[in-house]
Amino acid sequence: RRISTKRCTPLLQSNSKKGANQLYQLSASQKDLLDLTSTNTYNLKSQNLLNKSSTVYAVVASQNNEITSYMTKHHLGKAAKQINSYRNSQYKQVLKDALSSGKFEDTYKGVLANRMDEYKTLLNATYASTSDTSLKNITSNDFSQLSLIMDDSQ
């Protein structure tokens, strides 16, 4: 099925495949963060790290809903296969190994910081590549929210 560019935003009009792929990557990064922060918290002992993980989950879940809505509005809503192709679950083995070696919390903290940095980079790239005001607002707000979470933890 071809993506119709008649009712799509300028991001998708200039290069529909590149624009769609960028949104798929963004959504995949969000889903990876949601998975990371929801399935690994039972191994955390530090209350600060547990709080940060919960905050990241709540913020990114809201952001994912917003991006999913945006994609649906612009006829990219049924994209699970494309989004899943950008998912990166290599961290699961890293965390499994860290749990065995007794270094879970430090490793988790590093993986979370890395994933948040990657997500911020994707938000920045999406913002820079679009002329669509709505998408600029979404990515700008998401970037600001994530920056506050990251600044709070350092």
102 conformational bin, left if phi > 0, alpha if psi -120 to 50, beta if neither? left
Question: Which residues, including other chains, have CB under 8 Å from residue 3's CB and lie 6 or more apart?
Answer: 12, 16, 17, 20, 75, 76
47-73 helix and 133-152 helix, angle to the nearest 10 degrees:
180
Question: What percentage of the chain's residues is helix, strand, coil (to nearest 5)?
Answer: 80, 0, 20
For the chain, 154 residues long, give each residue's pLDDT as a single digit of tens. 344 444 444 444 444 677 788 999 999 999 999 999 999 888 999 999 999 999 999 999 999 999 999 988 888 767 888 899 999 989 999 999 999 999 999 999 999 999 999 999 999 999 999 989 999 999 999 999 998 887 755 4
Whole-number pLDDT of residue 122: 95
Whole-number pLDDT of residue 41: 86
Helices within 2-103 (DSSP H only): 10-14, 16-39, 47-73, 80-85, 91-101
